[in-house]
Chains A and B, each alone.
Chain A
């Protein structure tokens, strides 16, 4: 493949975000004394027409001071980051020593540079809390935090979840009101049948039981149909938003828990609406019900 030579003005922020210590393991060819290698995001590669094997020049400032040549070892799909939704991830990943060599201030001796963070994998993940406390105590000025806590800081998603729950609550209220109106009409339609059943001796409780069974069946079928519809929409919505934002992020996921919650709300709600509407009707006498 024909190699391209490009000058890339990459600012330090991009480096800071792009570099992780753990990435070293993903770049086997970098151990050779040859040209250092980098990984490029799929989006950046598409934007700049880059391919594996191409040579690019990277510098720490827009002026191209101290630019160095790197070979693209691979194109990678960046880990979806909901916080950066909508922004094209123009990033490269490189070995930490290469980054430090590229960005080091001439006044700073090699080995005295700083990094933003260090990711640590423990032998026993359950020790994360204790280990973090110990590091924080032993190294003043260093903040160690288990990744679960760091993820917990994403209040944005907690807030979004609350927002969606609120929207779902309003939708359920609207659906319940409509459902009640509909069941009242449907029950009213069967007023004469109910009256005849009462006149031939069936007690109101027996008719109500029948209505309850019917309600449960109809609500169950309706809820299952709704779930099937949601499963179908899940793919469509995810594909649309993934296309729209050029991301691998999953926007909608119908988990068993979500499905169970939907069924737990929809079926009792449907059955209760049916029984409630029927109860109001069945309180009347058989003759009154059967009268045209």
Chain B
């Protein structure tokens, strides 16, 4: 096997300009292909990672919608207690989000105001500490920077919780810490506190409403979800897998579809061009190949030479496409992440071993298919006639 590979290598080195360009072309196409493969599952993988990182494995909503997108759970306190008493449930956290204005001195920021009950906390403290008592909250980094607040400072919160635009009187909170909140979006302020404090700020103490309940199971999320649905038929319980499934059916499919279309076009484009390059290259060397056959090279051997040439071009280009593709992915991810409402921690391009395997397989298949026609030309080459034509011409 080494001899045909070495022979193909020499054939490529003999024509450095065209070989380099062919390899660079494959590298560019391969990078694009890799990015499309990373894009096809990137958002879903990123979403799963975010959901898993929060520590909950079941979400409970009042409607058949994604958490936070549907109607509120009116009796969240009672529902939390009922669900928390189920054997497969370890903890229940009620989560409610409202809009609010945060004021500090002459600075103001529109923010998402999140109230949570119970533990575990849904945020990660960056500076300061968790809210320990009533009237304390945590801010995200953007809110802290915009309002120039540090742990210990006081911020005035005016919450907008009703369907009308009437706002209850503003309430003062002490900043306990600066935290990273899940699903934080760039350049968007958010604050989080206890659910009771949020209700106070809303002017409806003890309302007991929540957007959704986040549940940690004792290990079997599916069984916990089933138990919750059985206990409270008016509520819907989704495991993380089910949520991802619903998300996949929604808007995220756009990127999967577009990446499939672009990957197909990219691979077809690469196939056509490599076929043309190899065919022209073989056609230019017909006399040389016929001479080799006359010297005793077998048909199998010259066919293998062409295959090795294709493998070298695609292999080298494919290897180069990996770093190129990763750089390109960072650039494209930066472009797409400027979409409004995309959480900071979410990525469109996520490294996944399976994508690299598919990338390698697709490039290998491309090399094989692209070499098929020139291999056929070489295999069917009439030795005597080709040599005669070569001499006459």
Contacts and interface: CB of A to CB of B under 8 A. Distances in A.
Contacts of B262: 167
A86 B250 contact: yes
Contact of A163 (B251, B269, B336): B336
Nearest to B19: A181
Given A62-B71, A87-B251, A189-B280, A166 B331 contact: yes
Interface residues of A, number: 37
B355 interface: no
A156 B254 CA distance: 13
Name the prevailing secondary structure of the B interface residues. helix
Contacts of B245: none
A210 to B, nearest CB: 21
Contact of A180 (B21, B251, B280): B21
A155 B187 CA distance: 14
B67 to A, nearest CB: 14
Given A86-B251, A86-B253, A237-B261, A178 B335 contact: no
Interface in B221-257: 234, 249-254, 257
B257 A244 contact: yes
A91 to B, nearest CB: 14
Interface string A141-160: 10000000000000110011
Nearest to A165: B335
Nearest to B71: A11
A170 B25 contact: no
A11 B273 CA distance: 55
Contact of A178 (B21, B253, B261, B340): B21
B387 interface: no
A182 B254 contact: no
A156 B24 contact: no
A186 interface: yes
Contacts of B252: 86
Interface residues of B, number: 43
Contacts of B281: 185
A173 interface: yes
A181 B339 contact: no
Contacts of A170: 28, 31-32, 328
A175 B272 CA distance: 11
Interface in B317-372: 328, 331-332, 335-336, 338-340
A177 interface: yes
A114 B250 contact: no
Contact of A166 (B62, B266, B284, B332): B332
14 contacts: A11-B63, A86-B252, A155-B339, A155-B340, A159-B336, A163-B332, A167-B32, A167-B332, A170-B28, A174-B25, A181-B277, A184-B21, A186-B280, A188-B18
Pairs A-B, 8 closest by C-beta atoms: A174-B28, A181-B21, A178-B25, A177-B25, A86-B250, A178-B273, A159-B339, A86-B251
